[in-house]
């Protein structure tokens, strides 16, 4: 059994650490045998993946039903997702990094720094987050929810403008939010006039 641990942030970053060797070598003609423990881990991960896929299907169906309702407001937030899929040639493995800009309330990586003392095992990006944690938290505290309030006010004005004309435009709210995210004043004015 190899010691291992996992850490998660409020924003959803999950990092796993273990002392188990990442790769094993076998000679010519040898068959690489997977231990019972490893087979159990694989089965457990497959089971967890199936459960997550089932939950996604359920939530998708729930959303479809609610979005087809005449009284529902569909306002799915738009997330800019940065992804990077790189090959590590040293051990012939791939690294998938998904980044979503989210507010950082508490970074649990700091606990690793406190308990482990040495953070050399973290990738450079995480180490830089630790080095700049105070600065990042200070910047976050300075950012008020002002923009979200403005989005809400503009959305309400848009809905009310057309409500007075007897038109229900709630299905166009996601498009309005997308225009607001890209903020082009002319596109916004045109959208308000022609929707």
pLDDT in tens, 48-104: 989 989 998 898 888 777 767 666 655 556 667 888 888 888 888 888 887 777 654
Q: Model confidence over 151-169: pLDDT tens digits?
A: 888 888 888 888 888 888 8
Strands 14-18 and 4-8: antiparallel
Is the domain of 177 the same as that of 155?
A: yes
Is the domain of 128 the same as that of 172?
A: no
Is the domain of 65 the same as that of 154?
A: no
Query: pTM of the prediction?
Result: 0.30
Residues listed for the chain: 195
Two tokens at 61? Answer: 């169906």
List the one residue out of 87, 139, 126, 96 whose CA is nearest residue 8: 126
Is the domain of 184 the same as that of 109?
A: no
Is 90 part of a structural domain of the chain?
no
Domain that holds residue 190: 146-194
Query: Helices (DSSP H) in 68-172: which residue ranges?
Result: 109-116, 124-131, 133-142, 146-164
Q: Which residues contact 91 (CB under 8 A, 6 or more apart)?
A: 22, 23
Q: Count the alpha carbons within 13 Å of 138 in the hemisphere toward its beta carbon.
A: 4
- Percentage above 90 pLDDT, the chain: 1
Is the domain of 189 the same as that of 117?
A: no
Which of the four pLDDT bands, split at 50, 70 and 90, describes residue 107? very low
Name the domain count of the chain.
2
């Amino acid at each position: 059994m190899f010691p291992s641990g996992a850490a998660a942030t409020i924003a959803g970053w999950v990092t796993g650490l273990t002392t188990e060797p990442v790769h094993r070598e076998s000679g010519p003609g040898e068959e690489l045998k997977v231990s019972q423990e490893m087979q159990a881990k694989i089965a457990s991960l497959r089971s967890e993946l199936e459960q997550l896929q089932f939950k996604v299907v359920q939530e998708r169906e729930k959303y479809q039903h609610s979005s087809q309702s005449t009284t529902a407001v569909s306002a799915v937030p738009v997330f800019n997702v940065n992804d990077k899929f790189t090959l590590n040639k040293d051990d012939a493995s791939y690294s998938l990094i998904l980044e979503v800009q989210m507010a950082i309330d508490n970074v649990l990586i700091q606990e690793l720094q406190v308990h482990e003392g040495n953070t050399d095992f973290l990738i450079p990006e995480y180490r830089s987050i630790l080095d700049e944690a105070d600065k990042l938290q200070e910047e976050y505290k300075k950012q008020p929810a002002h923009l979200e309030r403005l989005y809400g006010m503009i959305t309400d004005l848009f809905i009310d403008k057309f409500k007075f004309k007897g038109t229900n435009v709630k299905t166009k709210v996601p498009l309005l939010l997308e225009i607001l995210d890209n903020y082009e004043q002319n596109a916004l004015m045109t959208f308000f006039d022609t929707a």
